[in-house]
Amino acid sequence: MIYTNFQNLVWEALKKIPRGRVTSYGEIAKFIGSPGAVRAVGTAVGKNPDAPRIPCHRVVQKGGGIGQYSGPGGVKAKIRMLEDEGVAVGGARVLDVKQKMFFFE
């Protein structure tokens, strides 16, 4: 399986997210040069090989919503990993999202 360039860009962006921080699909889309391709970004993230180097669980919805997670454990595991990294999560939502949200440079 050969991955597309779009997917590589998305995963490159994911690797830049520091531990204990989260980002939104929209930010990634903007960073890779396609501000409106949030749907495509979500699809690309979901197809990632789930390698340890790609922290796909640090990607949440713009308003702080957890969103989805295709890995083992689903959304539940995603929340757990975030909390484990120091991101406070209440229900299916990041509490201090404005503070934890990471923006690419």
Partner DNA sequence: CCAATGACTAATC
Partner DNA sequence: CGATTAGCCATTG
The residues binding DNA (CB under 7 A) are 4-7, 24-26, 34, 36-48, 50, 56-57, 59, 61-63, 65, 67-71, 78
Say which residue the tokens 């990471």 belong to. Answer: 102
- Give whichever of 43 and 99 is closer to DNA, judged by the CB atom: 43
Select which of 10, 56, 60, 94 is catalytic.
56
Range list of H helices, 16-55: 25-31, 38-46
**HSE-up (13 A, CA, CB side) for residue 41:** 27
| 56 catalytic residue (yes or no) | yes
d(CA 105, CA 96): 21
- Give whichever of 39 and 86 is closer to DNA, judged by the CB atom: 39
- Give whichever of 31 and 69 is closer to DNA, judged by the CB atom: 69
Residues assigned a catalytic role? 56
